[in-house]
Amino acid sequence: MHWQCSENSLIQGRLSPLSTPNTIQVNPLQREQHSSGGSMEQDDLIQQFLTRSILVRNLSHNTVAAYSRDIIQAADFLGDIKSADSAALGEWVHHLSRLGRSSSTISRKLSSIRAFFSFLVDEGILDNNPADGIPSPAGEERMPHSLSVDRITRLIEAWTGENALSCRNRALLEMAYGSGLRESELVSLTLDRINLQDRWVRPLGKGQRERMVPVGKYAAEWTGIYLDRWRGELASVHSGSTVFLTRSGKPLSRMTVWNIVRNSAHRAGLDCRVHPHSLRHSFATHLLEGGADLRVVQELLGHSDIRTTEIYTGVSRKMLSLAVERFHPRGKGQW
C-alpha cells in the first residue's frame, strides 16, 4: 500500500491510499507551506524512516501512519528536526500539554519522535538521540473499556444466523470475544490458520508475530456453521482464503468490523460505547476475574510486554473492591 500524506490529511489524521506498495510519501510542498517547515532533505529522511518501518520492522500501516502524522506535526513546531536538542523537545512536550493533549497522546507522539531519532543515529546523521532524556508525561492510567458478561451476551446474540451476513457477524463476534483477537487479526484471518476440530487459531499479530490461541466453544460452533453453510455463498474471485468476507466476497476491512460492532450494539439496545476492542478487553478482563494467571492472559493477547497486560488487573481489582463493599458484612454502608 502506498500512502500519500497531504497537508490536510495529516492535520486531520487521514491518509489516502495510492497504488505503489511499501512506501509512504510525504508531500514535499507541505514543508514550504509552513513557516516552521524543514527542508526537502528532511522530507526524504522522513520518507526513508517510514519505508524502513514497514519493510524492516514489519510495523503495520496504521502504526506507520501515526508515525508520519506525529513526526511532521512535530516538525511544524521544531523546524529542522535534526537540529532539535533535548531543550527544544521539552518545549514541544510542554506545548502539547498546553494544547490540552492527553498524557497518552503526548507519550505516543514522543515515542514516534524517539523512533525517528534512533533511525537518524543508525544512519550516522546524529551522534545521539536527544529524545532519550525526555521522560514520558505521567498521567492517570486509562482503564480498558470492557462489558459485563450480560452485555457481551446481548451484543453477540443480536445476530441469530438466519442468513449469510447474520451468521458471519455472529461468528465474527464470537471469535473476537472467545479468542480475544484484535480487529486486524480478525480481518486477516485465513482458512489455513483455523483448526476448528482441535479448536485452535493461529493469528498474525503485531510485527507479523504468530501465536496459538484456543477457540472458545461457541466461537468454534458458529465459525463452523458460517464456513460450512454460508461462506461459499459470499465467496468470489476476490476472496482468497480469507475467513470473513463482505457481501461482495472481499475480505472485511477494519472499518467494516467497527460498523458490525456498532450495529450489533444498536440491535442489542446497548446504551454504552462499544467498539471492536471492547470484546478483546472483555475477554481479558473476564479471564482475570475468573482467576486466570496474568502470564496466561499475556500469552493469549499476544502482548510482548506484561506491563501492557497488567492494566487489566486494575479492572479486576475494582471488581474485587465492589464485591467486598457489596457482600462483606463490614464492607457495606456509607462512610
pLDDT digits (tens, 9 = 90+) for 56-70: 677 778 888 899 999
Please compute the mean of the pLDDT values over residues 295-301 and round it to a whole number: 91
Q: Does 159 lie in the same domain as 129?
A: no
* Model pLDDT, residue 36: 33
Residue 108 belongs to some domain of the structure = yes
Residue 317 belongs to some domain of the structure = no
* Model pLDDT, residue 265: 94
Spatial CA neighbour of 147 closest among 261, 40, 11: 261
* Model pLDDT, residue 62: 83
Q: Does 158 lie in the same domain as 45?
A: no
pLDDT > 60? residue 9: no
* Model pLDDT, residue 1: 36
pLDDT > 70? residue 33: no
Would you call 280 a catalytic residue per the annotation? Answer: yes
Q: Which of 101, 193, 206, 250 is catalytic?
A: 206
Would you call 226 a catalytic residue per the annotation? Answer: no
Would you call 61 a catalytic residue per the annotation? Answer: no
Q: Which three cell numbers stand for residue 152?
A: 457481551
Domain count, the chain: 2
Q: Which of 67, 177, 226, 312 is catalytic?
A: 312
Q: Does 37 lie in the same domain as 92?
A: yes
Domain that holds residue 165: 149-277
As a three-state string, the secondary structure of 122-179 is HCCCCCCCHHHHCCCCCCCCCCCCCCCHHHHHHHHCCCCCCCHHHHHHHHHHHHHHHH
Residue 103 belongs to some domain of the structure = yes
Most confident of 76-85, 175-184, 272-281, 302-311: 175-184
Say which range, 17-21, 81-85, 153-157, 211-215, has the weakest mean pLDDT.
17-21
Would you call 312 a catalytic residue per the annotation? Answer: yes
* Model pLDDT, residue 18: 32
Would you call 281 a catalytic residue per the annotation? Answer: no
Q: How far is CA 124 from the centre of its chain?
A: 32
Would you call 114 a catalytic residue per the annotation? Answer: no
Residue 118 belongs to some domain of the structure = yes
Q: Which of 31, 109, 182, 199 is catalytic?
A: 182
Instruction: Tell which of 238, 260, 277 closes a domain.
Output: 277
Say which range, 60-69, 107-116, 239-248, 308-317, has the weakest mean pLDDT.
308-317
Q: Does 129 lie in the same domain as 211?
A: no
* Model pLDDT, residue 2: 37
Q: Does 114 lie in the same domain as 84?
A: yes
pLDDT > 90? residue 248: yes
* Model pLDDT, residue 228: 97
As a three-state string, the secondary structure of 82-93 is HHCCHHHHHHHH
From residue 264, alpha-carbon distances to 30, 160, 189, 320, 335 in Å are 41, 11, 21, 30, 41
Q: Which of 109, 151, 170, 280 is catalytic?
A: 280
- Residues in a beta bridge with 24: 3
Give the SS3 label for residue 315: helix
User: Of 314 and 161, which is predicted with more confidence?
Assistant: 161
pLDDT in tens, 180-219: 998 889 999 999 999 999 999 999 887 778 899 999 999 9
Instruction: Tell which of 256, 277, 298 closes a domain.
Output: 277
Looking up residue 246, the CATH number of its domain turns out to be 1.10.443.10
The count of C-alpha atoms lying within 13 angstroms of the C-alpha of 320, restricted to the half-sphere facing its C-beta, is 11
Residue 63 belongs to some domain of the structure = yes
